[in-house]
Amino acid sequence: MSRLRIAEIFGPTIQGEGALIGEPTVFVRTGGCDYRCSWCDSLHAVDPAHRHLWQAMTTDAVWAEITRLSRGRPLTVSLSGGNPAIQDFTALIALGQAQGYRFACETQGSIAKPWFAQLDTLVLSPKPPSSGESVDWPAFDACLSAAKGAAQIVMKIVIFDETDYAWARAATDRYPALPLYLQPGNPEVDPATPVNPQDLSDRLLWLVDKTMADGWFAPRILPQLHVLLWGNKRGV
């Protein structure tokens, strides 16, 4: 049986971002990413320097850990990373959904997988200029096509500055039917350094003020709730 490369499995905690904010969730964070965002808050699941901490697990072992953490009570499982779309979650999603669990996935939209169609929620998070990455839109559109059949597809964009904001506005014009979430970027991602709550709230306020002043009423604007509660602590 092929194995899944897993950086960490944690929870239950609350989903801190986007459409499912506040929802009790177990996170499965995969190891490995095809991107290197300058501000990535999960480098321990991206940079191969940390790969000695990643585990090759069977689907059954991942499922056993999800049921242990959730005490067998169905909740939402969020597949994140790294880029979970590098790997094959067909069997895990089928196993969990048969027991009443729901599955969400967070991905940047660079790699499409058939199992996207099995998801309850697909969160596509195309990366703005501040990330240093650039979006392959045909690949992004392939993710949307692959996800036809998923119960819910949403877009979530991180905004650090004016350039990101202008980019997000233009990029999302092409997808008027996709529910859109904006979240301010967190500039401090080192787990050993405390976040600055005033700076985070200033960034949120700037984004809210700007969006309202522009009369851009498509997005919902949310902080990273888990960062407000726990800073950059891992495993929450």
Ligand X SMILES: Nc1nc2[nH]cc(C(=O)O)c2c(=O)[nH]1
Cα–Cα distance measured from residue 37 to residue 135, given in angstroms and rounded to the nearest whole number: 12
- Contacting ligand SAM (CB under 6 A), which of 59, 76, 78, 80? 80
- Taking CB under 6 A as the rule, does residue 172 contact ligand SAM? no
- Contacting ligand SAM (CB under 6 A), which of 44, 102, 113, 156? 156
Binding mask 105-134 for ligand SAM (x = CB under 6 A): -xxx----------------x---------
36 binds, among ligand SF4, ligand X, ligand SAM, none (CB under 5 to 8 A by kind): ligand SF4
Cα–Cα distance measured from residue 136 to residue 146, given in angstroms and rounded to the nearest whole number: 16
Segment interacting with ligand SAM, rule: CB under 6 A, options 35-43, 113-121, 170-178, 193-201: 35-43
Task: Find the shortest distance in angstroms from Cβ 185 to Mg ion.
Answer: 12
Residue 209 CB contacts under 8 Å (≥ 6 apart), including other chains: none
- On whether the CB atoms of residues 154 and 181 are closer than 8 A, the answer is yes
Specify the DSSP element, H or E, that contains 168. helix 162-173
Closest Cα partner for 26 from 57, 72, 59, 58? 72
186 binds, among ligand SF4, ligand SAM, ligand X, none (CB under 5 to 8 A by kind): ligand SAM
Task: Find the shortest distance in angstroms from Cβ 71 to ligand SAM.
Answer: 26
Confirm or deny that 33 is annotated as ligand binding.
Answer: yes
End-to-end CA distance of the chain: 30
Q: How many residues bind ligand SF4 (CB under 6 A)?
A: 11
Phi, psi of 190 (to 5 degrees): -75, 120
- Taking CB under 6 A as the rule, does residue 30 contact ligand X? no
- Taking CB under 6 A as the rule, does residue 83 contact ligand SAM? yes
11: left (phi over 0), alpha (psi -120 to 50) or beta: left
Cα–Cα distance measured from residue 47 to residue 230, given in angstroms and rounded to the nearest whole number: 23
**Which parts of this chain interact with ligand SAM (CB under 6 A)?**
33, 39-42, 80-81, 83, 106-108, 125, 156, 158, 183, 185-186, 189, 224
**Which parts of this chain interact with Mg ion (CB under 5 A)?**
41
